[in-house]
Amino acid sequence: MGQQISDQTQLVLNKLPEKVAKHVTLVRESGSLTYEEFLGRVAELNDVTAKVASGQDKHLLFEVQPGSDASAFWKVVVRVVCTKINKSRGIVEASRIMNLYQFIQLYKDITSQAAEVLAQTSTSEEPDENSSSVTSCQASLWMGRVKQLTDEEECCICMDGRADLILPCAHNFCQKCIDKW
């Protein structure tokens, strides 16, 4: 019986527009994610970005914002800080804060892209010009994706403010509207 429901759910998901299906998959994944798995993904993302950025000036660092994961409702309130660091100059070039939903999207994007980049570099003995130019600016490309993810959310109530919070129902709200309601 449970398998029938699962098969029916997959059938319905296959008929949804791609963006909606991706959203449903991400919401489902975040719902079943344990805190330990989440911390493992943060660590894995740091490892993956460090491997891809080895020998480069810039790399990304991910960390859980202190205190944002202290609640029993950590999935709603946790924030992940993504910092772009210039290693040669020893400075932070950019920093963005993501919620869990945005982090999961970025995790999927980076791990799949990094797997391709690492596979290309391990199979080719001589790096071609295209692959070296792509990997040399990989941190900047990924930081652009972080910016895109964090800028595209708008509040479902006022449709004006940038959404700071995503509730378990997956609706986005700005802090001003949450405080008001």
Q: Please write the tens of the pLDDT for every residue from 1-43.
A: 444 556 666 666 566 676 666 666 777 777 788 999 999 999 9
Percent of the chain surpassing pLDDT 90: 17
Structural domains of the chain, with CATH:
9-117 (3.30.160), 150-180 (3.30.40.10)
pTM of the model: 0.67
- State the SS3 of 82-112: EEEEECCCCEEEEEEEEEHHHHHHHHHHHHH
Residue pair 84/143 in contact (Cβ under 8 Å)? The answer is yes
Q: With a cut of 70, say whether residue 130 has pLDDT above it.
A: no
The pLDDT value given to residue 112: 87
Neighbouring CB atoms inside 10 A of 34's CB total 8
- For residue 41, the surrounding DSSP H or E stretch is helix 35-52
Q: Taking CA 65 as the corner, what is the angle to CA 48 and CA 109, rounded to the nearest 5 degrees?
A: 35
pLDDT band at 169 (very low <50, low <70, confident <90, very high): low
Q: What is the mean pLDDT of residues 126-155?
A: 65
- 57-69 residue pLDDT tens: 888 999 999 988 8
**What is the dihedral sign for C-alpha 111, 114, 116, 121?**
negative
Is residue 34 helix, strand or coil? coil
The pLDDT value given to residue 149: 79
The pLDDT value given to residue 107: 93
